[in-house]
Amino acid sequence: QVQLQESGPGLVKPSETLSLTCTVSGGSISSYTWSWIRQPPGKGLEWIGNIYYSGSTSYNSSLKSRGTISVDTSRNQVSLKLSSVTAADTAVYYCARSVGYGSSYFDYWGQGTLVTVSS
Amino acid sequence: EIVMTQSPATLSVSPGERATLSCRASQSVSSNLAWYQQKPGQAPRLLIYGAFTRATGIPARISGSGSGTEFTLTISSLQSEDFAVYYCQQYENWPLTFGGGTKVEIK
């Protein structure tokens, strides 16, 4: 059974960089696309961006180029960096898997990790 | 960006009754539409992809229909575990976008 686990600081100061890691277990990171999705408290879901295991990325332009997603196939990990954060970036951050390359639906999700932006 | 609009925002239904949830896309997404269920404190769970194909382990009482811009998720006889928030998501175009959700609550 594939499992995804997000990890990283739960509190980030405004203007700093949010850094999260998603560790994939029970399956290979290869041949799949891995996304980061966030959900502000009490609100809906926003797709941040994704990365194919080979390294090809796509991002939501709403992030205004603040996001960077990378993959480490040797560690079965996907990472997210979001720079210049503000309170509006406070959310539960999920990593999720899509089958194959390109835009798709999400068949496996991590449990999510809450990141609060506050001084 | 394709905007996904879900209605109603809240649906009050009695156990055993039928629930019908709607999702409308601002432009055609063909059949590239998925549905998810989310319970409090949990990650979303994939229910339907390709507009009507049930994901692994999803019971037959949950079904999806539609194509183009109009989609429906139907739960034929609501069970206690079905009370949750439901989201639609299009994967026709970048960026991938979700609807605002429909909360199905106990009447």
Whether residue B9 lies within 8 A of chain A, CB to CB, comes out as: no
Q: Please report the pLDDT score of residue A89 as a whole number.
A: 98
Average confidence (pLDDT) per 10 residues, chain B, 107 residues? 98 97 98 97 98 97 98 96 97 96 96
Q: Which residue of B has its CA nearest to A36?
A: B96
Q: Please report the pLDDT score of residue B79 as a whole number.
A: 96
Q: Give the span between the Cα atoms of A52 and A78, in whole angstroms.
A: 10
Number of other residues whose CB lies within 10 A of the CB of residue A34: 25
Residue B10 tokens read as 């809240």
Q: Measure CB to CB from residue B95 to each of A47, A96, A110 and give the nearest one.
A: A47
Q: Which residues pair with A20 in a beta bridge?
A: A80
When scoring B96, B97, B102, B103 by the number of chain A Cβ atoms within 10 A, the one with the most, hence best to mutate, is B96
* Contact (CB<8Å) B34/A106: yes
The string of pLDDT tens digits covering residues A56-104 is 999 999 998 999 999 999 999 999 999 999 999 999 999 999 987 777 9
Top-confidence residue, A35 or A102:
A35
The mean pLDDT value of chain A amounts to 95
What is the per-residue DSSP string for chain B? ---EEEE-SEEEE-TTS-EEEEEEESS--TT-EEEEEE-TTS--EEEEETTTEEPTT--TTEEEEEETTEEEEEESS--GGG-SEEEEEE-SSSSPEE---EEEEE-
With beta carbons less than 8 A apart as the criterion, state whether B90 and A45 touch. Answer: no
Residue with tokens 């009507």: B52
With beta carbons less than 8 A apart as the criterion, state whether A11 and A80 touch. Answer: no
Kindly compute the dihedral angle of the four CA atoms of residues B56, B31, B60, A1, in this order, to the nearest 10 degrees: 10
Q: How far off is chain A from B75, nearest CA to CA, in Å?
A: 20
Whether residue B25 lies within 8 A of chain A, CB to CB, comes out as: no
Whether residue B46 lies within 8 A of chain A, CB to CB, comes out as: yes
Number of other residues whose CB lies within 10 A of the CB of residue A13: 12
Alpha helix (H) residue ranges in A64-115: none
Q: Give the span between the Cα atoms of A86 and A46, in whole angstroms.
A: 16
Q: Please report the pLDDT score of residue A100 as a whole number.
A: 79
User: Can you say how many angstroms the Cα of residue B73 is from the centroid of all Cα atoms in its chain?
Assistant: 5
Q: Give the span between the Cα atoms of A68 and A55, in whole angstroms.
A: 11
Q: Give the span between the Cα atoms of B72 and B24, in whole angstroms.
A: 9
